[in-house]
Amino acid sequence: MEGAVWCADVLLAPVPARRKDSNIGIIVHSYEASSSADDALLFFLILISLFSSLHVTFFASPSPSHKKRAELTASASVTSVDLTASEDKYMELLLKQISVSYESMKLFMSEPATENSQLESLIALCADLHDQDAAQLELKVIKYLREHTCSESGFLLLVVPETLELISQVVGSTILPEEVRFPGLWSCFAQALETKQPMFLEHIPQDRRAEVEKIVEKPVHSFLCVPVACKDSHELIALACLVNKSNGQRFGDDDIQIVRQCFKYTATVLTSTLAFQNERKLKNQTQALLHVARKLFTRLDDLTKLLREIMQEARNLTDAERCSVFLLDQDSDELVATVFDGISTNNKEAQAEIRLPKTQGIAGHVATTGTLLNIKDAYSHPLFYRGIDDSTGFRTRNILCFPIKDEEGVVLGVAQLCNKKTGTYFTTFDEDIASAFAVYCCISISHSLMYKKVIDIQYRNSLANELMMFHMKQIPTEEVTELAGKKIPNIKKINPVFDQFVYPPRSLAETQTPLACMSMFDDLGLSTRWRLKRDTLARFLLMVKKGYRNPPYHNWMHAFAVGHFGYLCIKNLKLDDLLDDIELLAFFVSCLCHDIDHRGTTNSFQVKSQSVLAALYSSEGSVMERHHLAQSMCILNTEGSNIFENLTSKEYQQVLDLMRDIILATDLAHHLRIYDSLQTMATRGYNKNDPKCHNLLLCLLMTASDLSDQTKSWNNTKHIAVLIYQEFFSQGDLEKALGESPIEMMDRERACVPDLQISFLDNIAIPVYRVLAEVFPEAQCIADCVHENRQHWVHKAQLLKMHNSSAQTMSVQEIIALGEEEEEVGSHHENS
C-alpha cells in the first residue's frame, strides 16, 4: 500500500499501488490529550504491529486551535514483510474497526466531560449564593439559566403558598426598583401553578401573551416556564421563566432538565434566603411599629391629631395611597369620620363630618363582623359604594379595611386603606402589619378618649362652679308659687295684636314675660296636649329666664322675642298641619332656650381666647350653641323643672334630639351650609311625608325666629341695632386687649354701621325671609318689612355721605339720629 492518511473525520483513504517500505500515517485531530481514548488507539496500533510486523512510532504536537488539546500522530512503517492481497484487505478492515472504535470511545468519553462541566458550573453558582439577598440570588440564578439554555432573557416569579401570589424582583439582568406582586391564578401562569408542570408559549392563549411581553419589555417568540417545588413539602416556591431561545429555536426537554438540575442544588438556598429576608423584613416592620407607637402616644391629648397620625402611619406601613378612619358612635350605632385624607367635594357639609350606618358598606361590614377585609378589585365588590369616587374624581382600585378592637373584642372603629402603590392589591403581609398596627391604634384611641373625658370633667367642674357662683341658684319656692298661682291671661288681654307679626314683643315689661310665656303655651294647646304641670312649667320658665345673663342684646328679652316669633309662626302659618305635635313642642321650647348663658361673644372669640367653653366644645363646632343646649338639658334635669316628665321614654328621647338639632341650627354657619337645600325645598314644595323636609323647615323657622327683630317696625329695629353693636364693640375691645385685631363689624373705630347692616340684610336676613315667604305666602308681610328696614339703612348711608360725616367718628345712636327729625315731620304731615 503506497500510503494512506486518516484524517480528522476518521476516514481511511487507501492508495491502490503497493510497494515495499510503504508508510501508513494516522493523524487524530482535536481530542483531549489526557483522554483514555488515546490508550485505546495505542492498543489497536499495537495489534496491527503484531499481525503485520509493523514498526509503530508515536509523537504528539500542540493543537493550534485549542491550548488544552493536542494532535497525536502515529506512524507505522513496514520494514521486512510484503503485504499479500488478503493481508492488505484484512489490514483495511482492521483500520476501519480501529477508526469506528476510536470514534465511539471518543464520543463516550466526551459526554461525561460535558456533565462534569455543568456540575462544575452549578457548584460555582452555589458557592456564589452567599449574599442572603433574594434579589441578588435571583440575578445569579437567572444568569446561569440564560447561559446554559441560550436564552435572551429570564425571570423568577416567587410564589406565596397561601394565596398563590406571584412576586417579581428581577427581570433579565435588572433588579426592579420595587417588587411587583400579582395574583397568580388570574395570570397567564395559572396553568403552571395548578398543574405544577412545565409550560411553553403555545400553552398561553394568544390574547394573554402580552402579559409576558410586559414583564420582559420585548416581543416573545419562545417561552419556557418550569415550576420549582420545595423538596420536603412539595409546595411551589417559584416559577422559573426563560424567554427567547437563541437562533429562533424552541425550548425543549433539555432546557427543562437544565432548569430542574439547577434548582435541585439551589432551591434550598433560595428558600432559606427568602425566609431570612422575610424575617429581616418582619424585624424592620416591628421596629417601625414601635416607632409608630411612640409617635401615637404623643398625640393622646388631641383625638383629631391622633387620627391624622394614625392615617399617615397606616399609609406608610402598607404603602397605600389613602386612608380613612371611622370611629363607632355607640349611641347612634353609626360610623363617624371627622378627619379626611385627600377628599375634596363640593359639599362643604359633607367634609365637616361623615356618618354611615354601622351596617352600610365595606367599613360597616368590617365594624359589624370584626374581621379584616382585603378587596383586590373594589368596583366588582358588592359592598363598594362608587358615589364618593364619582363626586371626588378619585378612583379606588383596591381596599384593605381592618377593625380597631379592644382586648375584649369590642370594635372601636375601622381603618380603610385604598390603592396599594407598589402592587396591584394589598398582600397578606400588609394584612399582618395592619392587624398588628390596629392593636396600637386601639390602645392610643382608648387612652385619648379616656384622657378627653378626664379633661372634660375638669372643665365641667370649673364651669359648674362658675355657673353656681353666678346664677344657677335654686328658684325660691315662693316665686314659683306666685307665678303658678296667677290666672293665665288670654292672649288678647296682653295686647290686641299680640298674636300678629306686627306686635313688638320687647314692648312688654320684662316682669310680665314669664306669665306671657305661660299664655302662649296654653294658647298653642301645648299644656293640654303634653300634660304640662303648671308649677313645673312655672319653675322651668323662671329657671330659663334666670339662666340668661345680661349682655346688651343676647339676654332674656331676646329669648322672649324669639319665642314670641316662634309662637306667631305656629299660630299664623298653620304649622300644626305640616309638623308633628312633638316637633311643635320642641320648636317652641328651643326658641326660649336657644341662647341660655350667652356671654355676649361669638364662637370665634371663644376659640381665640381659649375659653373653658372652647375647650369643651370646639372639637365639635358651634361652641356657644352646644353650651346653650347643655344648659337647657341642665335645667330640664333640675328637680321640679322637667316639663317633659309626662312624655313616654320614646317621646322624651325624640324631643331632646329635636331640641339638639333646632338649637344647633341657630349657628349661622350651619344655616349657610343648608341654604341651598332650603331653596330646593321652597322650589319643589314642602313634603310632609319627607323627614328631611321636616328637619329643614324646623331649621328655617328657628333662624327666622332668631333674626325676628329685623321684621319689626323701624322704631323697634333701630333700637335693636344699638344693642347689637354695643355688644359687638365690647367684644372688639376684648380682642384688642388680647392683642388681636377684630373684624370691622366688631371694631368701633372702623365699623360703618349702615353699610354693615345693609350687607347683613342682603346676605343673611332677606334670603331667609324670602325662602320663608316662598314656603308660606302668608309670611310675605314679614319679608316686606325687612326690605323697608333696609331702605332706612340705605337712607342713613346716603345721609352720612351728604353730611360728609365719618361713621367711624359717630356713635350708633348719632348715626341713627341722622334725618330722624325730617322723617318725623314728614310722617306727621302724612297723618294730618
Each residue's pLDDT tens digit, 163-218: 888 989 999 999 998 888 888 888 999 999 999 999 999 999 998 999 999 999 99
Q: What's the pLDDT score for residue 19?
A: 39
Cα–Cα distance between 671 and 249 in angstroms, integer? 77
As a whole number, mean pLDDT of residues 428-449 equals 86
Q: What is the DSSP letter of 22?
A: -
Is the model's pLDDT at 406 over the cut of 70?
yes
Helices 691-706 and 668-684: crossing angle, nearest 10°? Answer: 120
Cα–Cα distance between 217 and 219 in angstroms, integer? 7
- How many CB atoms neighbour CB 447 within 10 A? 14
Is the model's pLDDT at 15 over the cut of 50?
no
Handedness of CA 210, 216, 222, 224 (dihedral sign): negative
Q: What's the pLDDT score for residue 471?
A: 52
Q: Is 557 labeled as ligand-binding?
A: yes
Give catalytic residues, as residue numbers: 554
- Long-range contacts from 484-492, C-beta under 8 angstroms, 24+ separation: 484/534, 484/535, 484/537, 484/538, 486/515, 488/515, 488/518, 488/519, 488/522, 489/515, 489/519, 490/519, 491/519, 491/520, 491/523
Output b/e per residue, 345-356; b: 16+ Cβ within 10 A.
eeeeeeeeebeb
As a whole number, mean pLDDT of residues 496-503 equals 96
Is the model's pLDDT at 500 over the cut of 70?
yes
Comparing CA positions, the residue from 692, 668, 672 lying closest to residue 681 is 692
Most confident of 5-9, 308-312, 483-487: 483-487
Indicate the range of 73-82, 363-372, 373-382, 556-565 predicted with least confidence.
73-82
Cα–Cα distance between 178 and 245 in angstroms, integer? 27
Q: How does DSSP assign 526-537, residue by residue?
A: HHHHTT--HHHH
pLDDT-derived band at 568, boundaries 50, 70, 90: very high
CB 403 within 8 A of CB 438: yes
Q: What's the pLDDT score for residue 812?
A: 85
Is the model's pLDDT at 465 over the cut of 70?
no
Q: What's the pLDDT score for residue 129?
A: 72
CB 223 within 8 A of CB 212: yes
Q: Name the architecture of domain 471-695.
A: Orthogonal Bundle (1.10)
Angle at the Cα of 329 from the Cα atoms of 326 and 331, rounded to 5 degrees: 170
Helices 477-485 and 513-523: crossing angle, nearest 10°? Answer: 50
CB 734 within 8 A of CB 601: yes
| CA distances, 68 to each of 31, 33, 60, 65, 211 (Å) | 9, 8, 13, 9, 46
Helix (H) or strand (E) holding 401: strand 399-405
Q: What's the pLDDT score for residue 209?
A: 92
- The CATH H-level superfamily of 707-832 is 3'5'-cyclic nucleotide phosphodiesterase, catalytic domain (1.10.1300.10)
| CA distances, 582 to each of 32, 347, 499, 770 (Å) | 109, 31, 22, 27
Q: What's the pLDDT score for residue 589?
A: 98
Q: Is 555 labeled as ligand-binding?
A: yes
Indicate the range of 83-92, 400-409, 576-585, 808-817 predicted with least confidence.
83-92
Angle at the Cα of 333 from the Cα atoms of 332 and 335, rounded to 5 degrees: 105
Most confident of 222-236, 391-405, 667-681: 667-681
Cα–Cα distance between 389 and 393 in angstroms, integer? 5
Q: Is 594 labeled as ligand-binding?
A: yes
CB 167 within 8 A of CB 160: yes
Strand pairing category for 373-375 and 399-405? antiparallel
- pTM, two decimals, is 0.54
CB 706 within 8 A of CB 562: yes
As a whole number, mean pLDDT of residues 342-369 equals 71
As a whole number, mean pLDDT of residues 604-631 equals 85
Q: What's the pLDDT score for residue 698?
A: 98
Helix (H) or strand (E) holding 680: helix 668-684
Q: Is 554 labeled as ligand-binding?
A: yes
Query: What Rg value do the Cα atoms of the chain yield, rounded?
Result: 48
Is the model's pLDDT at 52 over the cut of 60?
no
Cell output for 579:
309638623
Mean pLDDT (the chain, rounded): 82
Cell output for 396:
379606588
Cα–Cα distance between 226 and 611 in angstroms, integer? 72
Query: CATH number for the 301-454 domain, one of 3.30.530.20, 3.40.50.10490, 3.40.50.720, 3.30.450.40?
Result: 3.30.450.40
Strand pairing category for 23-32 and 3-6? parallel
Strand pairing category for 411-420 and 320-329? antiparallel
As a whole number, mean pLDDT of residues 684-713 equals 96
Cα–Cα distance between 83 and 80 in angstroms, integer? 10
- How many CB atoms neighbour CB 402 within 10 A? 26
Is the model's pLDDT at 128 over the cut of 90?
no
- 171 by Cβ neighbours in 10 Å (0-12 / 13-18 / 19+) ranks as buried
Sequence-distant (6+) residues with CB within 8 A of 608 are: 735, 738, 740
Q: What's the pLDDT score for residue 118?
A: 66
Q: Is 757 labeled as ligand-binding?
A: yes
- How many CB atoms neighbour CB 82 within 10 A? 11
| CA distances, 358 to each of 37, 332, 414 (Å) | 85, 9, 11
Residue type present at position 31: Y
Comparing CA positions, the residue from 149, 155, 140 lying closest to residue 213 is 155
pLDDT-derived band at 156, boundaries 50, 70, 90: very high
Query: CATH number for the 134-281 domain, one of 3.90.1150.10, 3.30.450.40, 3.80.10.10, 3.40.50.150?
Result: 3.30.450.40
Backbone angles phi, psi at 393, to 5 degrees: 85, 0
Question: What ranges in 347-411 are assigned the alpha helix state H?
Answer: 348-352, 361-369, 387-392
Q: What's the pLDDT score for residue 38?
A: 53
Cα–Cα distance between 326 and 368 in angstroms, integer? 13
Is the model's pLDDT at 91 over the cut of 70?
no
- 645 by Cβ neighbours in 10 Å (0-12 / 13-18 / 19+) ranks as middle
pLDDT digits (tens, 9 = 90+) for 629-682: 999 998 998 889 999 999 999 999 999 999 999 999 999 999 999 999 999 999
Starting at the earlier edge strand, list the strands of the sheet with 411-420.
354-357, 334-337, 320-329, 411-420, 399-405, 373-375
Comparing CA positions, the residue from 160, 138, 165 lying closest to residue 235 is 160
Q: What's the pLDDT score for residue 103?
A: 62
Q: Which residue shows C-alpha cell 394565596?
A: 163
Three-state SS letters, 695-723: HHHHHHHHHHHHCHHHHCCHHHHHHHHHH
Cα–Cα distance between 768 and 697 in angstroms, integer? 11
Cell output for 303:
383625638
Is the model's pLDDT at 136 over the cut of 80?
yes
Starting at the earlier edge strand, list the strands of the sheet with 54-62.
12-13, 3-6, 23-32, 69-78, 54-62
Q: Which residues pair with 242 in a beta bridge?
A: 154, 224
As a whole number, mean pLDDT of residues 218-233 equals 90
Cα–Cα distance between 439 and 405 in angstroms, integer? 7
Most confident of 13-27, 262-276, 389-403, 560-574: 560-574
Is the model's pLDDT at 604 over the cut of 80?
yes
Q: Which residue shows C-alpha cell 372634660?
A: 456
Say how many Å lie between the first and final Cα of the chain, rounded. 165
Q: What's the pLDDT score for residue 466?
A: 63
Most confident of 119-133, 318-332, 412-426, 767-781: 767-781
Is the model's pLDDT at 439 over the cut of 50?
yes
Question: Helix or strand or coil: residue 96?
Answer: helix
Cα–Cα distance between 262 and 245 in angstroms, integer? 18
Comparing CA positions, the residue from 804, 718, 807, 805 lying closest to residue 755 is 807
Of the two residues 160 and 10, the one the predictor is more confident about is 160
Of the two residues 264 and 568, the one the predictor is more confident about is 568
Phi-psi region of 341 (alpha: psi -120 to 50; beta: other; left: phi over 0): beta
Backbone angles phi, psi at 565, to 5 degrees: -65, -40
pLDDT digits (tens, 9 = 90+) for 704-733: 999 999 999 999 999 999 999 999 999 999
Percent of the chain with pLDDT over 70: 80
CB 484 within 8 A of CB 534: yes
Cell output for 17:
499501488
- How many CB atoms neighbour CB 283 within 10 A? 10
pLDDT-derived band at 794, boundaries 50, 70, 90: very high
Indicate the range of 166-170, 336-340, 388-392 predicted with least confidence.
388-392
Q: How many residues does the chain have?
A: 832
Q: What is the DSSP letter of 162?
A: T
Is the model's pLDDT at 404 over the cut of 50?
yes
Starting at the earlier edge strand, list the strands of the sheet with 151-160.
174-183, 165-171, 151-160, 236-245, 223-229, 199-200
Q: Is 558 labeled as ligand-binding?
A: yes
Q: What's the pLDDT score for residue 61?
A: 41
Is the model's pLDDT at 50 over the cut of 70?
no
Q: What's the pLDDT score for residue 637?
A: 87
- 569 by Cβ neighbours in 10 Å (0-12 / 13-18 / 19+) ranks as buried
Is the model's pLDDT at 472 over the cut of 60?
no
